[in-house]
């Protein structure tokens, strides 16, 4: 049932645009495309001396789910290193039903996507871009 997909929490995350934009002097950047739907995410990060994210920004040329996910990810990314981001990704995977268990906030908002397999990549694309940026 698609009409349950665009619930207020997802729309609110997307409209919040947390972290939207570019960094003036990123330590690393990465861009990921989804060749199936054309979504594109570019992520800039500034890292501290220990490889932790000090600052993050994203540009999303994609759907509302991708925008909401990038916004949610940006809201929890600062202070985390690659391992910390991998932990957060499990929450997104749980939310969309790819892993068992309860998803922590803010990713629990993506629970309606579990019923839409073709849209799950939209939620995960920002994670892929950030993974590349941190690798």
CA atoms within 13 A on the CB side of 76: 21
- Please say which residue, 85 or 96, places its beta carbon nearer to other proteins: 96
Q: Which of 64, 78, 104, 108 binds other proteins (CB under 8 A)?
A: 64
Q: How far apart are the C-alpha atoms of 6 and 78, rounded to whole Å?
A: 27
Q: How many residues in the shown chain lie near other proteins by CB under 8 A? A: 19
- If DSSP codes are grouped into helix, strand and coil, which group holds residue 13? helix
Q: Which of 16, 20, 37, 82 binds other proteins (CB under 8 A)?
A: 37
Render 49-77 in DSSP notation, one character per residue: TTS-EEEEEEEEES-HHHHHHHHHHHHHH
Q: Identify the residue whose tokens are 């990704």.
A: 89
Q: How far apart are the C-alpha atoms of 66 and 51, rounded to whole Å?
A: 25
Asked if 117 interacts with other proteins (CB under 8 A), we say no
Asked if 63 interacts with other proteins (CB under 8 A), we say yes
- Please say which residue, 6 or 108, places its beta carbon nearer to other proteins: 6
Site for other proteins in 67-106 (CB under 8 A): 67
Q: Which range in 71-79, 86-94, 114-122, 125-133 contacts other proteins by CB under 8 A? A: 114-122
Asked if 122 interacts with other proteins (CB under 8 A), we say yes
Total Cβ atoms within 10 A of residue 22: 12
List residues binding other proteins (CB under 8 A): 1-3, 5-6, 11, 36-39, 61-65, 67, 116, 119, 122
């Amino acid at each position: 049932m698609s009409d349950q997909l665009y619930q207020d929490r997802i729309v609110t995350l997307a409209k919040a645009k947390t972290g939207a934009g570019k960094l003036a002097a990123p330590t690393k950047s990465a861009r990921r495309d989804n060749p199936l739907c054309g979504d594109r995410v570019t992520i800039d990060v500034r890292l501290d001396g220990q490889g932790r994210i000090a600052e993050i920004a994203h540009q999303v040329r994609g759907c509302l789910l991708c925008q909401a996910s990038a916004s949610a990810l940006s809201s929890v990314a600062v202070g985390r290193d690659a391992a910390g981001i991998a932990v957060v990704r499990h929450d997104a995977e749980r939310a969309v039903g790819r892993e068992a268990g309860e998803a922590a906030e803010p990713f629990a908002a993506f629970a309606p996507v579990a019923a839409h397999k073709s849209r799950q990549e939209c939620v995960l694309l920002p994670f892929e871009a950030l993974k590349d940026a941190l690798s």
